[in-house]
């Protein structure tokens, strides 16, 4: 697993590492990221970094998408970006 990265006092993890922690395919989180559900993040070197302050939100998204099997549009509406 990749190491946390601190940028301007905010700790980030690679999207793939977060997916590994939550035991979901990275595509689930990538779709949420692209739709704006995970904030602006940080992109570079062909990777996306997610702020660790958003891990509760990631858990909610995973629960809605994987456990409850809701589509992304429904999750967006429920979380009211």
- pLDDT score of 20: 97
Residues of the domain holding 63: 5-79
Query: The dihedral of CA 67, 72, 73, 79: what is its sign?
Result: positive
- What is the pLDDT at residue 55? 97
Give the model confidence (pLDDT) of 4-46 as tens digits.
Answer: 999 999 999 999 999 999 999 999 999 999 999 998 888 877 8
pLDDT at 45: 78
Q: Which pLDDT value is given to residue 58?
A: 98
What is the tally of structural domains in the chain? 1
pLDDT the model gives residue 76: 95
| pTM of this structure | 0.88
């Amino acid at each position: 697993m990749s190491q946390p990265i601190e940028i301007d006092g905010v700790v980030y993890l690679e999207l793939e590492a977060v997916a590994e922690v939550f035991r979901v395919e990275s595509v689930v989180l990538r779709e949420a990221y692209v739709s704006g559900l995970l904030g602006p993040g940080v992109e570079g070197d062909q990777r996306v970094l997610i702020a660790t302050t958003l891990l509760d939100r990631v858990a909610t998204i995973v629960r809605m998408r994987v456990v409850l099997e809701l589509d992304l549009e429904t999750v967006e509406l429920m979380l009211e970006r």
